[in-house]
Amino acid sequence: MFIVLRPKTLRIAELRKMQHMVANKLLYYHREDCRLCRSKNLIKVLDLGEQPLAGGFLDQNEFQDEKFFPLRLYFCKDCTLIQNSEIIDKEVLFKHYFYISSASKTGVDHFKSYAEDLNTCFARKKGDNLFIVELGSNDGVLLLPLREFGHNVLGVEPSKNITEIARKKGLAIINDFFTQEVAREIVDKHSKADIITANNVLAHIDDMEEVIKGILILLKPEGILVFEVHYLLDLIEKLQYDAIYHEHFCYHSVIALSKFFEKWDMNIYKVQRVPMHEGSIRVYVKRKENLGRLQEKSVQELIRIERDKQLDNEQTFYGFTQRINKQKEMLNSAIQQIKQKGERIVGYGAAGRANTLLNYCNITYEMIDYIVDASPLRQGKYTPGTHIPIFSIEKFREDNPENVLLLAWSYKKEILEKEYDYRKKGGKFVIPLPMVEII
Ligand code: SAM
């Protein structure tokens, strides 16, 4: 079990937190400094209350011991990073994981085209054989298409259950968290990497210093780090508060990322906005000394847009809370109206994002009959906090309820196409975000 150590003299506020932790047998601590620049100049800008772990799917006999943790965001007044400072032990978050990257066609297609892009950009001639290491490789959604281009690929993935899935596909995976030690092991056993990729994982790491030091050990001097992260600008503009949960420690902007890499003598030389997860950025980074004339306009352009939209001003995030509360009211009222008509409503997609939304909006098993989800890992379980049972998609198709709350709204296009027959028969989808609509 994770033990919380508080070596220095405790202030009263800290003592209270400790008492709370002991009473709730919590497995977390509050971090006081900024994860990227180490400044202590942090200010709370959003409070989503006490929430369970978004990936904490349960069996019925586990309801009683369920744990809740404060979910708050802080703004760093020095580097502008938005972050969650309540640190849950990484073993708890990732050793057994419920998200499989290849579960959606959107994901598989996205990573296939990502692999094509990497191959076109960096394999200088046909058949060029690059050594590519992916951090947080999950079930191999990107490694597989990269391997098909003939590259040597290696994944680093801490979750045991997902590593097994990837290994069954014949992929080489180190089943561990990425650290300096893992980086050294890879260099000793293989070589330094031409490319390191890390997608939707840098936001999931608290100790970014350890990771960047590991990257500097593993990457060839002229090597490239390419990663994707959910983009703060899209999160704010599309009201994606459902993407806020304990697993997500950072909410990235180009401004904050640029400052971070500069500190480590690296430079972002190109950024692309990509549609994945309703708005992400793909970021290309090299060591400063080997950058040459690579620097693209895209970096400065996005920094300018972020400044225009005031992502570097904490006031922007206070306004966000008001917009969230309005959406919560609207969603509850839409569900109430459905219930008053005597109609049923079930949920579609029980991912982590669904859990923040359900918990924050107090939508429980009393309002939603059940949720269907494509992942066999979640079927048969209950949603954290709200205790809604999860079944396979077939149940909803057989049952044909009048309404479906599309919790996986960021896969709207794919799901509406897949469930064309349901809508044709008169079924309605309630879309919760970016604004409540019924279609
Ligand atoms: N890269 C995949 C994608 O984009 O679909 C998976 C993203 S998933 C949200 C995050 C993945 O990072 C999980 O598979 C998780 O186990 C892994 N992960 C978390 N912390 C990590 C760490 N310190 N080092 C390497 N992988 C990590």
pLDDT of the chain along its 439 residues, tens only? 333 333 333 444 445 555 555 555 557 889 999 999 999 999 999 999 999 999 999 999 999 989 899 999 999 999 999 999 999 989 889 998 988 999 899 999 999 999 999 999 998 776 789 999 999 999 999 999 999 999 999 999 999 999 999 999 999 999 999 999 999 999 999 999 999 999 999 999 999 999 999 999 999 999 999 999 999 999 999 999 999 999 999 999 999 999 999 999 999 999 999 999 999 999 999 999 998 888 899 999 999 999 999 999 999 999 999 999 999 999 999 999 999 999 999 999 999 999 999 999 999 999 999 999 998 889 999 999 999 999 999 999 999 999 999 999 999 999 999 999 999 999 999 999 999 999 9
Nearest CA to ligand 1 atom 14: 138
CA of 350 to the centre of ligand 1 (A): 18
Residue 266: strand, helix, or coil: strand
Q: Is the CB of 276 under 6 A from ligand 1?
A: no
Interatomic CA distance for residues 88 and 13, integer angstroms = 19
Q: Is the CB of 433 under 6 A from ligand 1?
A: no
Specify the DSSP element, H or E, that contains 213.
helix 208-218
Q: Is the CB of 156 under 6 A from ligand 1?
A: yes
Interatomic CA distance for residues 248 and 190, integer angstroms = 31
| pLDDT computed for residue 291 by the predictor | 85
CA of 243 to the centre of ligand 1 (A): 15
| pLDDT computed for residue 20 by the predictor | 54
Q: Is the CB of 245 under 6 A from ligand 1?
A: no
Interatomic CA distance for residues 311 and 314, integer angstroms = 7
Burial (0-12, 13-18, 19+ Cβ within 10 Å), 193: buried
Interatomic CA distance for residues 326 and 435, integer angstroms = 10
Interatomic CA distance for residues 392 and 180, integer angstroms = 41
Could you give the angle at which helices 297-308 and 254-263 cross, rounded to 10 degrees? 130
Interatomic CA distance for residues 163 and 174, integer angstroms = 8
Indicate whether this model's pTM tops 0.75: yes
Q: Is the CB of 248 under 6 A from ligand 1?
A: no
Residue 228: strand, helix, or coil: strand
Nearest CA to ligand 1 atom 9: 200
CA of 201 to the centre of ligand 1 (A): 5
